[in-house]
């Protein structure tokens, strides 16, 4: 531990695969905001222009985006990793996130003793489309080696915990499962009909909603197809941005429902708009413990979803019947039709989901667990 860390003036380096406002980024920022001004954060993205979550950092939180930090991605080479390790030297705690930052973890594994690098905690939240169906053998091997000197590997789901232990062969003591959490109280307020840009909820409309980056792994064209048979008063509202926008709208136009499918774009504060939904849906090929599902639950919504990650055990028991196999598109359509046609059922399940979200997935409990872990890694009594 550095002298600065002992004195309480902590510098934390965050190395992200991307810093757009997805689930892991929003969780990371929520923790920064809760830890307060006693921690200075330096944030690097493997995709240098992907910094959409920057706007979520609260005023007064010391956060910087260091110019000229070595690229996190590139051709594997010892010299490149040595340069990356050297750039980590000024920090008291190093936090890496997902596959896009695994080269940094490897640099730490190779050079931490010689360069006296700070402890490293890796956070793994899931997989992109290239590993949604089958994990890469090469990447599995790389992860095993790169995490050799990590002080902890944090995962949000039981399925990822099993992979870390049995596939990546991580020691039991290193793997920490910390449930994702949100400010559940912020989802209680009912938004105004015009809370979303470019889309207004009209009297008599019902909204099927989702929050997702518009990426292939989210399989949003699947959701469009499953939605197509819902009654005409239902509108599909997809909050998020990404490269699949055209593919989603093309599928809606092909099915002649383009007038019922809306893509308002990225919403900085999902809590301010999720309450406009009448039903929440998830169509992903791969997730672990999605914040979006927790937000839907906290807003009192029933959830129709593919059975990915821990979703089936996250929702209330009453909701479990509407979590369907990822490859069974007709089953997702039937789940939507059943819930869409029965308001009393939606309300009953939504109320049970809300109770569960408040008891299991509140941000305060999550923050306490992360603070305890970081403090232990740094050899401190508390964090910050």
For position 96, which CATH number holds?
A: 3.40.50.2000
pLDDT for residue 8: 56
At 305, list the tokens: 């979803």
Q: Is residue 117 located within the same domain as residue 164?
A: yes
Residues 203 and 351 in one domain: yes
Q: What is the pLDDT of residue 214?
A: 93
Quick check: is 90 in a domain? yes
Q: What is the pTM of this model?
A: 0.88
Counted domains in the chain: 2
Whether 142 and 262 map to the same domain: the answer is: no
pLDDT of res. 4 = 47
In the chain, % helix, strand, coil (3-state, to 5) comes to 45, 15, 40
Residues 281 and 297 in one domain: yes
pLDDT the model gives residue 7: 53
CB 40 within 8 A of CB 122: no
139 and 234 part of one domain: no
Q: Looking at the domain assignment, is residue 271 inside a domain?
A: yes
Name the H helices within the chain.
Answer: 3-7, 23-35, 78-87, 102-115, 137-146, 158-166, 220-227, 245-254, 291-298, 311-314, 329-340, 343-360, 363-378
| Residue 383 in domain | no
Answer yes or no: do 152 and 202 share one domain. no
pLDDT by residue for the chain (384 residues), tens only, comes to 455 455 557 999 999 999 998 889 999 999 999 999 999 999 999 999 999 899 999 999 999 999 999 999 999 999 999 999 999 999 999 999 999 999 999 999 999 999 999 999 999 998 887 887 889 999 999 999 999 999 999 999 999 999 999 999 999 999 999 999 999 999 888 899 899 988 999 999 999 999 998 999 999 999 999 999 999 999 999 999 999 999 999 999 999 999 999 999 988 888 889 999 999 999 999 999 999 999 999 999 999 999 999 999 999 999 999 999 998 999 999 999 999 999 999 999 999 999 999 999 999 999 999 999 999 999 999 999
280 has which bridge partners? 209, 303
Same domain, 149 and 211: no
Among candidate residues 206, 200, 201, the one with its CA nearest the CA of residue 341: 206
Do residues 282 and 335 make contact, with C-beta atoms less than 8 angstroms apart?
no
What range does the domain containing 294 cover? Answer: 184-360
Residue at 329 is within a domain: yes
| 371 within 8 A of 383, measured Cβ to Cβ | yes
| Whether residue 355 sits in one domain with residue 373 | no
* 19 burial via Cβ count (<10 Å: 0-12, 13-18, 19+): buried
As a whole number of angstroms, the distance between CA 221 and CA 249 comes to 8
Q: Let me know if residue 48 belongs to a domain.
A: yes
Shared domain for 172 and 122, answered yes or no, is: yes
d(CA 124, CA 263): 29
Could you tell me if residue 384 is inside a domain? no
Is there a single domain that holds both residue 136 and residue 260?
no
SS3 191: coil
What's the alpha-carbon Rg for the chain, to the nearest Å?
A: 21
Domain identity same for 206 and 79 = no
The pair of structure tokens assigned to 270 is: 């999902």
| Judgement on whether residues 326 and 242 belong to the same structural domain of the protein | yes
State the pLDDT at residue 132. Answer: 78
Q: In what order do the strands lie in the sheet with 10-16?
A: 63-64, 39-45, 10-16, 93-97, 120-123, 152-155, 175-177
Nearest to 142 by CA among 99, 96, 111: 99
- Torsion sign, CA atoms 123, 126, 127, 133: positive
Cα angle: 14, vertex 159, 364; to 5 degrees: 50
Q: Identify whether 216 is part of a domain.
A: yes
pLDDT of residue 197: 82
- Rounded to the nearest 10 degrees, how much is the dihedral formed by the CA atoms of 122, 126, 129, 130? 50
Tokens of 119: 């402890």
């Amino acid at each position: 531990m550095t002298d600065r860390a002992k004195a309480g003036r902590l510098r934390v380096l965050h190395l992200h695969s991307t810093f757009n406002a997805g689930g892991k980024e929003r969780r990371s920022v929520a923790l920064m905001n809760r830890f307060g001004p006693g921690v200075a954060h330096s944030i690097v993205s493997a995709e240098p222009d992907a910094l959409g979550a920057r706007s979520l950092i609260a005023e007064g939180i010391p956060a910087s985006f260091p110019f000229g930090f070595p690229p996190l991605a590139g051709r594997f080479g010892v010299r490149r990793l040595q340069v990356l390790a050297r750039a980590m030297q000024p920090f008291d705690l190093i936090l890496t996130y997902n596959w896009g930052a695994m080269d940094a973890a490897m640099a730490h594994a190779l050079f931490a003793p010689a360069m006296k690098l700070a402890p490293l905690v890796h956070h793994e939240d899931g997989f992109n489309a290239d590993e949604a169906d089958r994990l890469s053998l090469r990447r599995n091997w790389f992860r095993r080696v790169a995490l050799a000197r990590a002080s902890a590997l944090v995962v949000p789901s039981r399925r990822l915990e099993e992979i870390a232990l049995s596939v990546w062969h991580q020691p039991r003591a290193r793997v920490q499962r910390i449930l994702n959490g949100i400010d559940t109280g912020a989802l209680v307020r009912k938004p105004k009909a015009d809370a979303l840009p470019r889309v207004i909820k009209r009297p008599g409309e019902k909204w099927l909603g989702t929050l997702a980056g518009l990426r292939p792994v989210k399989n949003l064209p699947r959701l469009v197809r499953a939605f197509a048979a819902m009654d005409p008063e239902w509108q599909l509202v997809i909050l998020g941005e990404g490269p699949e926008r055209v593919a989603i709208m093309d599928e809606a136009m092909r099915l002649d429902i383009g007038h019922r499918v809306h893509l308002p774009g990225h919403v900085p504060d999902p809590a301010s708009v999720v309450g406009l939904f009448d039903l929440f849906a998830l169509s992903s090929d791969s997730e672990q413990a999605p914040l979006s599902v927790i937000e839907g639950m906290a807003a009192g919504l029933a959830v129709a979803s593919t059975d990915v990650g821990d979703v089936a055990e996250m929702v209330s028991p009453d909701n479990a019947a509407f979590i369907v196999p990822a490859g069974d598109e007709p089953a997702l359509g039937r789940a939507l039709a059943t819930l869409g046609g029965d308001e009393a059922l939606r309300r009953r399940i939504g109320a049970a989901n809300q109770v569960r979200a408040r008891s299991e997935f509140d941000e305060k409990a999550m923050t306490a667990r992360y603070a305890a872990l970081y403090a232990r890694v740094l050899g401190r009594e508390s964090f910050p």
